[in-house]
Amino acid sequence: MKILVCITNVPDTTAKITFTDNDTKLNKAGIPYIIGPYDDYALARGVELKEQTGGSLTVLHVGEADADPQIRKALAIGADDAIRINADPLDSYFTAFQIAQVAKPGTYDLILMGRESIDYNSGVVHGLVGEMLGIASYSPVMKLEITGSTATLSREIDGGKEVLQAPLPLVLGCQEPIAEWKIPNMRGIMTARTKPLQVLEPVALEELTTPQKYTLPTPKGACKMIPASEAGTLIRLLQTEAKVL
């Protein structure tokens, strides 16, 4: 089985977000970058499935060279090779389009990624890729087993979950508890250095959306403290002052 895992390179969840260049660019200074947490789950399950089925796993990233440490980490965790599309992705459509160029029909049996990136939170790339390749997509997938050419998966639906069987190939957006995150071991880190990382230029695409500017939320006013002994008065304040009851 041939597996493709798409990863994002995103600011750590605890990073403080600020902007530069007149609020048109993210201020990357001092921000630690990580593999998207949801992509990390997809990668972990991908590695397990590769080992079970004796297949291969390619990791794919659409982005610039500053993501290479994260791509090497994915190789250290167990990917066989990597592809980076050398572009600053403008939007979800662009990213999905580049992924679809690499994953042309017949190339991969399973395309895994996180349910959403934690920078833009769109959660639409798996659906876009699925449609571009003319195959089914599901998200968020919390459990995944492959038997022959059929996937059995459990995914979250509003207020619950469902289990379904679908034929491969598939595009899946993953989230916990699909697998436990994997930490690379020393041997993995050593072998990752020599695994192939192919850098490709993007395929041209007309611009559908253009980012204009970024803003930060207006800071909250001070928190109004209520003594524990008068806790009941909170309910009245919520009704008359905050008007949320």
Partner 1 sequence: MSVLIYVELDNGSIKKTSLEAVAFGSKVAEKIGEKAVVLAIGHAASAELEKAGNYGASKVLHAADAKLTHENAMAYADVLVQAASQESSKVIILAKSGLGDALAARAAAKLKAGIVSGVTALPEIGDSFQVTRSIFTGKAFATTEIKSDIKILVVRKNAIEIDDSPVSTVQAEITAFTPPLRDEDFQASVSKVEKASSELSLTEAEIIVSGGRGMKGPENWQPLIDLAKALGAATGCSKPVSDLDWRPHHEHIGQTGIKVAPNLYIACGISGAIQHLAGVNGSKCIVVINKDPEAPFFKAADYGIIGDVFEILPKLTEAAKSLK
Say if residue 140 is preceded by a cis peptide, omega within 30 of 0.
yes
**Can you tell me the distance from the alpha carbon of 81 to that of 75, in angstroms, rounded to the nearest whole number?**
7
Neighbouring C-alpha atoms within 13 Å toward the C-beta of 137: 22
By CB under 8 A, residue 227 contacts partner 1? yes
By CB under 8 A, residue 139 contacts partner 1? yes
> Per CB under 8 A, which region of 1-9, 48-56, 73-81, 236-244 contacts partner 1?
236-244
37: three-class secondary structure by DSSP: helix
- Torsion-angle region of 31 (φ positive above 0: left; ψ -120 to 50: alpha; else: beta): beta
CA 128 to chain CA mean position, Å:
14
> Per CB under 8 A, which region of 50-58, 73-81, 101-109, 233-241 contacts partner 1?
233-241
Residue 61, strand partner residues: 84
> Per CB under 8 A, which region of 12-20, 48-56, 65-73, 75-83 contacts partner 1?
12-20
By CB under 8 A, residue 220 contacts partner 1? yes
Cβ atoms < 10 Å from Cβ of 14: 7
Smaller CB distance to partner 1: residue 74 or 129?
Answer: 129
Shortest spacing between CB 87 and partner 1, in angstroms? 17
Tell me the number of residues near partner 1 by CB under 8 A: 78
**Can you tell me the distance from the alpha carbon of 237 to that of 244, in angstroms, rounded to the nearest whole number?**
9
Q: Which of residues 41-70 bind partner 1 (CB under 8 A)?
A: none
By CB under 8 A, residue 103 contacts partner 1? no
> Per CB under 8 A, which region of 59-67, 80-88, 102-110, 220-228 contacts partner 1?
220-228
Q: Are the beta carbons of 175 and 114 closer than 8 angstroms?
A: yes
By CB under 8 A, residue 194 contacts partner 1? no
By CB under 8 A, residue 29 contacts partner 1? no
Smaller CB distance to partner 1: residue 199 or 242?
Answer: 242
